[in-house]
């Protein structure tokens, strides 16, 4: 049986992602595993004609990610939490992080999607299930630690 030594948790600032982070932190404490948080900052596709530059959006998202991860670390000073905030496509950046850091488990929060969004965009969860080479835990949106 493979032991879990490293846990990667994906967050995006949503309540379900924070629930997943809390679940991952609790699990990491219980099994004395390392924990890394990944917050993927998506490429910005803003229309420059309206005066909002993609660089500004990405900078804002980066600041938001750093603030959120800092908050999580402050709430849980007893556990070492590493973090990365890559800019790119979520699936691609998550796979790169898994390839580089080699976690034993990946944890994310489940997001409820509107029917049309799910139909046209698909879900990150579904894309991860067909892509990942390590076990995935999807924490329910209403889960509370």
Expressed as residue numbers, the domain containing 45 is: 32-139
pLDDT at 48 over 60: no
Is residue 76 assigned to a domain? yes
Q: Which two tokens stand for residue 90?
A: 């979520």
Over the stretch 70-113, which tens digit does the pLDDT of each residue have?
999 999 999 899 999 898 888 889 999 999 999 999 999 986 65
Judge whether 42 and 121 are in contact, CB under 8 Å.
no
- How many distinct structural domains can be found in the chain? 1
Is residue 129 assigned to a domain? yes
CATH number of 51's domain? 3.40.50.620
User: What order do you get walking across the sheet with 105-109 strand by strand?
Assistant: 81-84, 34-38, 6-10, 105-109, 136-139
The share of the chain scoring above pLDDT 70, in percent, equals 81
Q: pLDDT value at position 27?
A: 96
Is residue 120 assigned to a domain? yes
Is residue 18 assigned to a domain? no
Is residue 6 assigned to a domain? no
Give the position of tokens 């990610």. Answer: 65
pLDDT at 1 over 60: no
CB atoms within 10 A of CB 46: 14
Is residue 62 assigned to a domain? yes
Is residue 65 assigned to a domain? yes
Task: Give this prediction's pTM.
Answer: 0.83
Is residue 26 assigned to a domain? no
């Amino acid at each position: 049986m493979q032991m879990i030594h490293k846990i990667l948790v994906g967050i995006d600032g949503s309540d379900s992602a924070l629930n997943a982070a809390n679940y991952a932190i609790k699990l990491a404490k219980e099994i004395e595993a390392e924990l890394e948080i990944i917050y993927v900052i998506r490429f910005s596709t803003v229309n420059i004609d309206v005066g909002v530059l993609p660089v500004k959006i990405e900078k804002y998202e980066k600041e938001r990610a750093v603030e959120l991860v800092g908050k999580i670390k402050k709430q849980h000073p007893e556990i070492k939490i590493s973090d990365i905030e890559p800019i790119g496509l979520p699936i691609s950046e998550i796979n790169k992080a898994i390839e580089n850091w080699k976690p034993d488990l990946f944890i994310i929060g489940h997001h409820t999607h509107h029917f049309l969004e799910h139909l046209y965009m698909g879900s990150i969860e579904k894309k991860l299930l067909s892509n990942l080479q390590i076990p995935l835990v999807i924490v329910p949106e209403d889960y509370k630690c």
